[in-house]
Amino acid sequence: MSVNNTANWIYKKGEDDNIVLYSKISIYRNIDDIRFFHNMDKEDFKNTENILKSNIEELNLNLSYKKLINIPALNIRMLIENLTIPSNKNIVHASLFTDEDEDISLLINSNEHLEIQTIARGLELENCFNKAYEIESALDQKIDFAYDKKFGFLTSSPNIIGTAMRAEVCVAVPCLAWKTPDNIDYIISECNKKGLEVNVKNGLLNISNNIMIGVTEKFILDTIIEKVKEISEKEKKIRNRIKKLDRVKAEDRIYRSHAVLLSARSLKYRELINYSLWLRLGIYYDIIENINLDTIYYMAFVGKNAHLKHLYEKSNYYRNIDEIRANVIRDILKNSYFIKLISTLYLKLKFIP
């Protein structure tokens, strides 16, 4: 984790990252001849842990190791908010390997024997897959994973049998939602026809594969990438059209959003995300000064409940979490050059030969 326990991957620029917030790959595997998660006993958990831990360590990936049961509850929630582990985790027997940036995480004994996850800012789905698949392939040479010639990789959840891989991309389309809301319904319908699931929350589209059996990993990746690029092009076209034909209304939304975030004394998370989407548009139009995408990403993560509680866990000054969020966001925007400095220093230090 980096500043205020946000994950470092949010500072690593990716393709089309004004519109595509992040790409994520999750690969699920189970060890052959060991019962699935919900039927495991203590001996099974111990064997699974020992087999996976020793083989992962032999890969020399420079990962840190933790037993989730030994991590404070607030820190667990921050890992969930950083998208490092899923929210539906079982922590009693689970352990976690992560790298320094939290863009690689390997979760043991939580729903499945092993979940390999990679995440990146922007449209980097293929890179995420290549990174995750390289780890899976290395482990597959050492461990017999449960596999059936007819059905594919076997899992405790029937929904992920087959490729046992979930690909997810999060997309911000404020202008499509504003000017052509029917387009969102059309996008959802078209994605569903392709076997993709779309969840709409806080003005964001989360697109993932709904089908894992009877398809290849390449098909899943190609389908999602094609759809995301299509959505991104639609958003860009309408942004450019608005800039020519309805610039004043767009700028009004951008500057109002900036003003609210700079002045609000109480702020819900969904409001933060909604206003941040308009700041993204302001950056796209190059009309917002002293704010870059690093600042927007930082606000989106540090503005989540567990991160805020960690920042102010010993403070009794604020009455509720919305007041804390408003104060933190005001401070970030008033000192946004510090975020630029943090991200610049991080990248320089990271890549010094």
Residue list for the binding site for ATP: 22-26, 166-170, 194-199
CB 221 within 8 A of CB 126: yes
Burial (0-12, 13-18, 19+ Cβ within 10 Å), 190: middle
The phi and psi torsions of 59 (rounded to 5 degrees) equal: -75, -15
| Residue 101 near residue 14, CB atoms below 8 Å | no
Query: Does residue 137 sit in helix, strand or coil?
Result: helix
272-277-283 Cα angle (round to 5): 120
DSSP 233-287: HHHHHHHHHHHHHSHHHHHHHHHHHHHHHHH-SS--HHHHHHHHHHHHHHHHHT-
Q: Which residue has the tokens 């392709």?
A: 194
Give the amino acid at 13. Answer: K
Structure tokens that stand for 345 in this block: 């220093």
Taking alpha carbons only, the member of 159, 149, 165, 158 closest to residue 218 is 165
Binding residues: 22-26, 166-170, 194-199
Q: Are 32 and 148 in contact (CB under 8 A)?
A: no
Give dist(CA 166, CA 204) in Å, integer.
18
